[in-house]
Every structure is written in structure tokens, then in C-alpha cells.
Amino acid sequence: DVKVTQSSRYLVKRTGEKVFLECVQDMDHENMFWYRQDPGLGLRLIYFSYDVKMKEKGDIPEGYSVSREKKERFSLILESASTNQTSMYLCASSLLASGSTNNEQFFGPGTRLTVL
């Protein structure tokens, strides 16, 4: 059974703290993604990675950084958490897109982060 796991389901942090969100997948997928999801806005891509040590900015990278030292692990870092980063964070993984093949994304359960 394919699986994407995230380190925490719920997290409460204070403004200014450094926050680490970890994501691990066991499907040997090349692509990994970090999204945030807020009511009425849909999924917004923060960063993605298509290979080890590779990263690409998504639509809203400001205030975030990522690390991919191993193929199965993709970490999201909030260098100095702010209240506007309170959100649901979803990690996903997929195979590389090849032509028009179906490379569906598999999602982790999400981390609900609250920054006070």
C-alpha cells in the first residue's frame, strides 16, 4: 500500500520560531511537493522537487525553504514562523510526468500548523 507520511498532524508554534515539517514517501517517486491549503483558496504550491538536492519555487515560496537530501524525504522549513503561516500543510509525491501519462499525486495526511 503506497504511503506518504508527515511528521505531525497538529503543531502549535510561536511567532519567530523555526519550524520543520517532514515528509516521507515509500513509492520511490521522483517528484515531491509541499502545498498549503486555506479555506476558499484551494491548494497552493510552495515548493517542489523533482530529484535529490533539486528544488523549484512554487507560487508562494516567500517565508519558506525546503531540503531534499534523500529521495524519500522532503522537508519544509519555516525560518521564522508568522501568524499568516497558520494553515494546513500537505505533502505529496508522484512519478515524473512522461508525455501525457497519469502521474497522480499521492498526498500525506496533512499537518495543521497554528502560529500564535
Partner 1 sequence: GQNIDQPTEMTATEGAIVQINCTYQTSGFNGLFWYQQHAGEAPTFLSYNVLDGLEEKGRFSSFLSRSKGYSYLLLKELQMKDSASYLCAVRDKNSNYQLIWGAGTKLIIKP
Per the DSSP assignment, residues forming a β-bridge with 56 are: 48
Output the nine-digit C-alpha cell for 80: 521564522
For residue 100, the 8-state DSSP code is T
Comparing CB distances to partner 1, the nearer of 42 and 62 is 42
d(CA 4, CA 91): 8
Please answer whether residues 52 and 69 qualify as being in contact, where contact means their C-beta atoms are separated by less than 8 angstroms: yes
Residues that bind partner 1 (CB under 8 A): 40-45, 48, 50, 56, 58, 90, 97, 100, 102, 104-110
Q: Whole-number minimum distance, CB 15 to partner 1, in Å?
A: 25
Cβ closest to partner 1, residue 5 vs residue 82 = 5
Q: Residue 28 Cβ, how far from partner 1 at the closest point, in Å?
A: 18
